[in-house]
């Protein structure tokens, strides 16, 4: 995440009461996770588990056998659409969470995203993978916006 990048997650690791409410809602509705290999590589050592206690699908060109974890397992695939399809099947009527700017941008461009939840931290990093760089134009309808001491939490419906 680069120098100071862990501050992006202060809302999770040092949450305010409002952040705790958002975290609880997210965990209660999560059914599966899709993430990129970089997010997996950076996060797995910190999580020592799946990021949420649900099946996780890692999009990577370096596939491997499934990796069991304490709460669920990681499956590895080179195909984003397949990862999202498998995650939707695993999630049932719950949400599929997509983690990582590059994978999220690709899913958005492929029309695989119904709703976008963003957490904007009150500082800049100066570099890193940008979520919207090079994307095709999209429209969004704001469904919710909450400001906490650590982040502004935005929720949009994608209306391309």
Q: What percent of the chain has pLDDT over 70?
A: 91
The pTM for the full model equals 0.89
Average pLDDT of 83-102? 96
Cα distance between residue 129 and residue 92, in whole Å: 30
> What Å distances lie between residue 117 and 36, 54, 143, CA to CA?
17, 18, 10
* 83 or 160, higher pLDDT: 83
pLDDT tens-digit series, residues 97-109: 999 889 999 999 9
* 69 or 126, higher pLDDT: 69
Average pLDDT of 11-24? 91
């Amino acid at each position: 995440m680069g120098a100071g990048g862990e501050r992006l997650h202060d809302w999770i690791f040092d949450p305010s009461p409002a952040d705790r409410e958002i975290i609880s809602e997210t965990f209660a509705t999560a059914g599966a996770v899709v993430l990129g290999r970089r997010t997996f590589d950076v996060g797995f050592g910190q999580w020592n588990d799946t990021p949420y206690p649900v099946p996780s699908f890692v999009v990577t060109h370096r596939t491997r056998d499934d990796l069991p974890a304490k709460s669920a397992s990681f499956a590895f695939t080179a195909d984003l659409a397949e990862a999202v399809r498998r995650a939707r099947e695993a999630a049932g009527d719950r949400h599929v969470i997509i983690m990582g700017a590059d994978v999220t941008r690709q899913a958005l461009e492929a029309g695989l995203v119904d709703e976008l939840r963003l957490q904007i931290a009150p500082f800049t990093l100066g570099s890193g993978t940008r979520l919207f760089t090079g994307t095709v134009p999209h429209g969004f309808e704001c469904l919710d916006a909450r400001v906490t001491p650590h982040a502004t939490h935005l929720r949009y419906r994608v209306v391309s």
